[in-house]
Amino acid sequence: LIAMPLAVLLFLFFPRLPGAFWAIPRGAEATTGLSDTMSPGSIVKLVADYEPAFRVQFVSAAPAPEERYWRGPVLHDFDGHTWRRSSGAFHPRERLQYIGRPYRYRVALEPTHQRWWLALDTPAESPASNVSLTYDNQLVAAEPVSEPVSFDAVSYLRTRSLEPLSASSRREDTARSRDNPAALALAQTLRQRAGSDAEFVTATLEYLHRGGFVYSLTPEPLGADAIDDFLFNTRTGFCGHYASAFVTLMRGAGVPAHVVTGYLGGEWNPVGGYFVVRQSDAHAWAEVWLEGRGWARIDPTAVVAPERLRRGLLDLLPDALTTRERLLRSSEWLTRLLQQWDAANAWWSDHVVRFDYPAQLDLLGRLGVRSPDVRYLGWAFMLALTLWLAIIAWHIGHAARPAPPDALSRAYARLCRKLARVAPARALHQGPLSYAETVSARRPDLAPPVRALLERYAQLRYGPPEPGTREEGIEEFRRAVARLSLPAAAPVDISH
């Protein structure tokens, strides 16, 4: 207990300097969550993962569930089966007009061992100096997220581009493979019937809506021409299937488009006052370039399973729940207990695990220190340590000082002094009854009164309470000791 304040002081004020010495590199660990590639069925694997991906706390009102798109990796390259992030070509980021109100919020991101940070679509700026806001509106950090990260962000739900699409971006997002010829033919047919790219988008969504497509977590395996097989044979798939097929159709007609992966929705935790976005909320959608507007989010899942946008995936498809999650959701008090446990984990992660050097400087700022830096941390630690040592020294000195003797102890000490004049002195280890035996053995003539007094002392000090007040018994003992008169031992006759 004495060391607890020191541990708190070390935690709060010992400088947590950034760098290799203080941040020891962790070993390689498995990547969790979204990947930088997507094949039509890859996102299905995340559905059974109920672990939190991140938590979000809005400063004011949150967007509606169908508007909570959390932007992750943007995939541009397609080989006919698998989507990947851009190969690394540089593209200028177009200037945007932000429409509507800004949403301000704080994200607590769990470790993913990937470099992207998740933000509400569309982030207006980078939330940290080591994070870049890319040309396709991804937040990409300089280092993988190997520890929990918290950051504040600002996003707008609607944007408009203020400049035309660059030639390099147009080439990237209209490129198509030689696979899936049937999908290419369908795209060209639909585009010929449409008067504009916007009408072509509407016609493609109508095709998916009326084409007998089914939203399912257990789609059939696809053949070599995966998009053709999905559009014309199986017609059963998850969000990744629909996003991939839709972008393929757009590119087949020369309309710039790409796939965006991330998360959709989030579960409200009333205990902690935040949304929990789980791995099972993983989602994929499309973005299409429309002249006069710029990049427009198009979610083809909305025309096949519109309830997915307003409700969580596990509410829409309860068969995807594991036995554990089905049990937890079946009981209101278990759900409440789970929310309380998650809120406790979030508090621990936010206030202990994420308490780093910037958090220390923020604490100093709240304590009134202007422009805090590592020097102030050192001074604060030394001042707090000195104060703690002074308190400990005072405590030790105060504890070492013997307490003043009470009335019973004073009377007993007086009795022992009287006996020491006419009999052997009491040894330090002797109790009252043992001392009575010693005195009686050396002075049998004093045995009756000495035994009576010492036994009375033992009774008052160690015995059970007696009828009447203890104070009266102590006063009687004190008076008896005062009245006690002990004759000296008779001289020994050595003449015989």
Could you tell me what percentage of the chain is helix, strand and coil, using 3-state DSSP and rounding each to the nearest 5? 45, 20, 40
- 288 vs 246: CA distance, rounded Å: 10
Pairing assessment for the beta strands 236-237 and 214-215 based on DSSP bridges: parallel
Instruction: List the structure tokens of 155.
Output: 């996003």
The torsion defined by the Cα of 129, 133, 135 and 138, in degrees rounded to 10, comes to: 140
- In degrees, rounded to 5, the angle at the alpha carbon of residue 232 between the alpha carbons of residues 230 and 233 is 70
- 265 vs 263: CA distance, rounded Å: 7
Catalytic residue among 229, 258, 283, 350: 283
- 175 vs 31: CA distance, rounded Å: 29
> Would you mind telling me the total number of residues written for the chain in this entry?
496
Q: Which DSSP letter does residue 88 get?
A: S
Catalytic residue among 121, 299, 342, 350: 299
Residues 6+ apart with CB under 8 A from 323: none
Q: DSSP of 373-442, one letter per residue? A: -HHHHHHHHHHHHHHHHHHHHHHHHHHHSPPPP-HHHHHHHHHHHHHHHHSPPPPTT--HHHHHHHHHHH
Query: Is residue 299 among the annotated active site residues?
Result: yes
Q: Which DSSP letter does residue 100 get?
A: S
Query: Is residue 239 among the annotated active site residues?
Result: yes
- 225 vs 237: CA distance, rounded Å: 15
Burial-class residue 52 by CB neighbours within 10 Å (0-12, 13-18, 19+).
Answer: buried
Catalytic residue among 121, 239, 281, 350: 239
User: Which residue numbers are catalytic?
Assistant: 239, 283, 299
